[in-house]
Structure 1
C-alpha cells in the first residue's frame, strides 16, 4: 500500500515503477509463477515465497541484462501471484473436469443423485487419477491430467512451459500433484449434487496437495526399477510440447488415496506391455 496525493492509501502496482523496473517485473512475474508451481505450490510460510521472489528477480535481471535491486513493494507484487496462479489453474480446470467426468447441471433429484454418486466414486481411492476411473487402471495416465498441463502451461508457443523450459523439463512431480489437487477441488464443487464455488486456498487444499505429492513419491519408490515416474514425466512433457506446437523432445515409452495395490498394478501393466511388444517383434 502507498499514500496518494490526497492522503488515501492505494495498492502498489506495476505502473508505479520506472520503465526498466517494469520490464524486469513483467519477466520476474512469469518466472515467479513458474517457480511457485514447480517448487512450492502451497508454500510453507512467507519465507519460501520471499526466496522464490528474489530468485525470480535475479533471473529476470540476468535475462534483461540489468542490475536493479528488488524492493519490498516489488516483492509484494510478486507474492500476490502465489494465489493468483493457483486460482487460474482452478478456473481453467473447472469446465474441463465437469465435462470430462460427465457431471450434469440441473436441480432434478436424479441429476443431483447422479452427481453425488459420481463424486463419491471419483474420490474413492483417488479414482480420478486413473486413466479408467471405473476399473482403476492406468494410474496417473488420465487424459484430464494431461489436459490440465496443456491448457495451463503449454496452450501455445508463448506459454510459460515453452518460454521457460528449464522449469518444466521434465514435468516436475510438484506440477503433477498440483494439477491432481486442482482436479480434486473441481470434483469437490459437485459434492452436494449442485455445482458450487469452492476456493482453491492453501487453508483447504495444502494438505490435499501434500497427500498427492507423497503418493507420487511412494509410486516412484515402489516402481523405481521400471522408472515409471520418469516415463510419466517424459510422456507428459512430450505431449504437452506437441500440444503447444513446438518440436517434440526425445520420448521414452509411455508408461481416500491410492493404495500400494495400484502401484503393483501399474508395474504389472508395464510388464504386460513389454511382453506384448516382444511378441509382436518375434512375429515381425
Structure 2
C-alpha cells in the first residue's frame, strides 16, 4: 500500500497499490450490497466493521488473493454506508415527485395541494399501496419496482446482477429501506414547498424499523399464501428483465403500524383474484367442450 501527501490526508482509492485498489473496488461493491440487504441503518461501528470484514473476505476469495485488511481499508468501506443510502434517496426523489404528482409551483394553490398530498400519503402509510387512495395492493406501489430497477438492476453490470446472491430471494430489509427513502422524499413536500431533508440514520432509522416491522407482520399474517414472497419474487423477476438478464440465468414521524384488518383485506383480495382466475379457467374449458 502506498500513501501519498501524508497520512493525515483523507484517504482515496488511488492512494493504494493497483492490486489493493482493484480488490478494494470489489469489496466496496460487496459491502454496499451487504449493507442494504442486511442492516441499512447500522447502530454501531462494530456492525459496520463486521460487514466490511466479510466483504473483504468475499472479495479476496473471488480474486483468489490474500491481502491484509488494514484499518484504512475498513474505513474506505464503512464510508459507503451513508453514501449508498444517499444514492438511493437521490434516485427516489424525482421518481416519488412524479409518481404522486407533487408540483414545484410557488402558487398558494399548489403549495396547499402539495401539503395536503404529503399529509394524505403519510396518513396510515398510504404510499405503500398500489392504489393509495383506495388502500389496495399493499406493498405493490410501482415505486418499489422503480427503485430496485434503477438502483441495483440498471444493466447487466449492475450490483444486483454481479452480486445476485445477495438479492435472491429479495430481502425484506431492502423493501423496508426503499419505503423509508420514499417516505423521506414525501417529507420533503410536507410544508407544500420542496425542501432538502437529509436521509440520515438519526432521522430515519426508527422509520425504517417501523416499515420493517410492518412487512414482517404482513408476512406472518399472510404466511399461508406466501404473499410477501410472491411480491418479492415478482419484483426481482421484473428487475432482472430490466437489466437484460433472464431470470433463470441469474442466480421523521413515528412509524405507522398496520392493523391486522389491512392484512386480512389483502388475503381477501388474493382469494377473490384466485376465485376469478379459476372461474375464467372453468368457463374456457366449458367453451372448448361445447
Aligned counterpart, 2:101? 102
Aligned counterpart, 1:202? 201
Aligned counterpart, 2:39? 40
- Output one character per residue of 1:217-251: Cα deviation in whole Å (capped at 9) or x when no partner: 0001100011111111111101111111110249x
Verify: 1:71 aligned to 2:70, yes or no: yes
Aligned counterpart, 1:228? 227
- Runs of at least 4 residues off by over 3 Å: 2-5
- Please tell me whether the aligned partners of residues 3 and 15 of structure 2 are also in contact (alpha carbons under 8 angstroms): no
TM-score, length-normalised on structure 1?
0.95
Deviation at 1:20, TM superposition (A): 0.9
CA distance in 2, matches of 1:176, 1:210: 12
Aligned counterpart, 1:266? 266
Q: Note the residue ranges of structure 1 that are not aligned, 5 or more in a row.
A: 251-255
CA RMSD of aligned residues (A): 1.5
Deviation at 1:26, TM superposition (A): 0.4
Aligned counterpart, 2:25? 26
CA distance in 2, matches of 1:126, 1:34: 26
- Please tell me whether the aligned partners of residues 125 and 259 of structure 1 are also in contact (alpha carbons under 8 angstroms): no
CA distance in 2, matches of 1:176, 1:269: 21
Q: Note the residue ranges of structure 2 that are not aligned, 5 or more in a row.
A: 250-255, 285-290
Aligned counterpart, 2:110? 111
Deviation at 1:153, TM superposition (A): 0.5
CA distance in 2, matches of 1:171, 1:158: 18
Deviation at 1:69, TM superposition (A): 1.2
Total equivalences in the alignment: 277
Deviation at 1:3, TM superposition (A): 8.7
CA distance in 1, matches of 2:21, 2:205: 32
Aligned counterpart, 1:253? none
- Output one character per residue of 1:127-182: Cα deviation in whole Å (capped at 9) or x when no partner: 00000000000000111111111110011111100111100011100000000000
- Please tell me whether the aligned partners of residues 154 and 241 of structure 1 are also in contact (alpha carbons under 8 angstroms): yes
Deviation at 1:16, TM superposition (A): 1.2
Deviation at 1:259, TM superposition (A): 2.4
Verify: 1:193 aligned to 2:192, yes or no: yes
- Please tell me whether the aligned partners of residues 3 and 10 of structure 1 are also in contact (alpha carbons under 8 angstroms): no
Query: Structure 1's 198 and 173: CA in aligned 2 closer, same or farther, altered over 3 A?
Result: same
Aligned counterpart, 1:180? 179
- Secondary structure in 1 matching 2:224: helix
CA distance in 2, matches of 1:264, 1:45: 37
CA distance in 1, matches of 2:63, 2:196: 40
TM-score, length-normalised on structure 2?
0.93
- Secondary structure in 2 matching 1:225: coil
